[in-house]
Amino acid sequence: MCGITGILNFKQQSVEQAVIKKMTDAVAHRGPDADGFFVENEMALGHRRLSIIDLSSAANQPFIDNSGRYAMVFNGEMYNYAEVKSTIKEYAFKSNGDSEVLIAAYAKWGADCIQYFRGMFAFAIWDRQERELFLCRDRMGVKPLYYYIDEERLLFSSETRSILASGLVSKKISTTALMEYFSYQSVSYPYSVIEGIKQLEAGCWMKIRNSKTEKKTYWDASKTKVDFDFSNKTATHQHIKELMLQSVKRRLVSDVPVGAFLSGGVDSSAVVGLMAEAGPAKPNTFTISFQEKEFDESGYAEVVAKKFNTCHNNILLKPTAFLDELKNALDAMDTPSGDGINTYVVSKAIRKNGIVVALSGVGGDELFAGYPIFPQYLQLQEKKLLWLLPKSLRSLASTVFFSGASGSKAGRMQQLLRLDDGSIENVYPVLRQIISPGQIRQLVQLAPSGPFITSVQKELLKRKPDIDKFPLLSQVSLAEYFGYTQHTLLKDTDQMSMAVSLELREPFFDHDLAEFMLSVPDGLKKPVYPKSLLVESVKPLLPDEIVFRKKQGFLFPWDVWLKNELRSFCEMHIKNMSERSFINGHSLLHFWKQFLKGDHRVRWAELWLFVVLEYWLEKNGVE
């Protein structure tokens, strides 16, 4: 796992090494083990290395292939690199890592080399002969890649703050990104929070030559279909187990010890159980425990650890550790997010215990219908007669029954009744929003007066013919993938773990597994009990006390903390935010006062978005 940077000047001007060094230094936390640079005329590459596979200096980057034609910087892991390496007979390898296999594969197959690899990655390859730059990002969007392009140059990096560190890009906030952020607590591609800086889409590559760009989607979740006899329930369970085990085995490839987050929930327990089954080594497991019983899940984790004979580590924290680490976590954010504090604290605790690579159970809810949004969508589809009523009548009903009603749930019901229909592209953006469009219009001056179509909705609309062919629960999984999963969950997992130089690997975000799960019919996937398809598929791996336990998680009293321990911190940033030109200051301050008075219509999560954004803007000097 690493940090990558690059500059390509279009007018044949030489790149100053000092500039690429600034960019690379800004991502030093992503790779504390080594740095390296390639600077040649109009092209410069920078790299920070976190050594995972082939710990020798022979695997340091930037990497030059045997012919000297290609220079590469690579962030991530190619789990099946040994398999691909065995097919490239004509190349004389000098290292034992995945980096050289990738560059050799590109030399042999060009852009098509991606089809051979299984992994999480973002990389750049400079063709010194053709003067062409190739950028690529993994299928699921696990690893980030940002870029900025104008008439003079292209800059790219693993993080936006690295591009800003170049001094070549104006620190101006994107108004479009603001609307995305307030709606969904993060920014969707192609945008970033900075005007002009974009995210390369997941499953895409881009070529830049003679200042012209070519972009191609090489993998699209909505176009995947598998040929399988799902009428055979036993065979379906068996194949899911095989794909899960394959995914875990892939993610155990490492030259350093691999650990695992173990909360004691179904997802993390399944991953740990499969780790124990995958090889002879005892898994290293880590659980965050609390003396306060309302937060503590360590008892469940110990049941799993004992069953699979893991090297278990119980890390005792106080709930206030999340308050103590708050500023560190906010400083770690490359891009503002309303989530991610938990990931930072847990990652830091595990990294302090000497672990560099860990497996996580995130993603199980997305694939196995674990979120409340899945049954909610099914319930809406059962009310199809509702959508046959005239829209004007439904709008009237929403005003009569929900006007003045308190709470975000009532607000969502109002919006749902006013939709054209109950299709996933209309329903999902409403069910996943943090702040409603009406509230945003009250608080943000730049908000459009009419309907605002978010990037997530645009993605779903663009793929509507394909998505409609999937089972209903898989439609929600696809919406999650194009929405919350990529732009909040995976982004936070990456930025918060890499802030402390910890590589997290997510077996549930394996594209072979995802392709199969998207084709599973609703009759098999609909949970009889939480994530029953996953449990039945890995049976008898999980103990009953884990399967049928009450879902808990890190549900800390942030609403109380905002009114007490964090009040002065939040108040200062709310006040500063209220003075910004794009904010309706009076409305925001009133919103804050209503929250302090205990008005249940104002949720802490809504105000927290303004606090985080203001902190981020101040820290990064963004206008």
Going by C-alpha positions, the residue among 324, 311, 399, 400 that lies closest to residue 358 is 311
Asked if 192 contacts 174 with a C-beta cutoff of 8 angstroms, the reply is yes
How distant, in Å, are the alpha carbons of 14, 300, 333, 555 from that of 287?
50, 10, 24, 16
Distance between CA atoms of residues 164 and 170, nearest Å: 8
HSE, side-chain direction, 13 A CA sphere, residue 16 = 7
Q: Which two tokens stand for residue 330?
A: 């906010």
Asked if 3 contacts 27 with a C-beta cutoff of 8 angstroms, the reply is yes
Going by C-alpha positions, the residue among 252, 145, 154 that lies closest to residue 189 is 145
What H or E segment, with its residue span, contains residue 314? strand 311-316
Distance between CA atoms of residues 526 and 528, nearest Å: 7
Distance between CA atoms of residues 517 and 142, nearest Å: 18
Q: Where are the alpha helices (DSSP H) in 228-325?
A: 233-250, 266-278, 298-307, 321-324
Distance between CA atoms of residues 492 and 497, nearest Å: 8
Distance between CA atoms of residues 53 and 38, nearest Å: 22
- Cis preceding-peptide flag for 190 (omega within 30 of 0): yes
Give the residue carrying structure tokens 């999650």.
480
Distance between CA atoms of residues 98 and 149, nearest Å: 29
Distance between CA atoms of residues 145 and 143, nearest Å: 7
User: Is 2 a residue of the active site?
Assistant: yes
Measured at the CA of 299, the angle between CA 295 and CA 304, to 5 degrees, comes to 125
- Cis preceding-peptide flag for 62 (omega within 30 of 0): yes
| The CA-based dihedral angle spanning residues 224, 226, 231, 235, taken in that order and rounded to the nearest 10 degrees | -120
Give the residue carrying structure tokens 């730059």.
133
Active-site entry in 2, 136, 204, 570: 2
- Cis preceding-peptide flag for 521 (omega within 30 of 0): no
What H or E segment, with its residue span, contains residue 576? helix 567-578
What H or E segment, with its residue span, contains residue 27? none
Q: Catalytic residues, which ones?
A: 2
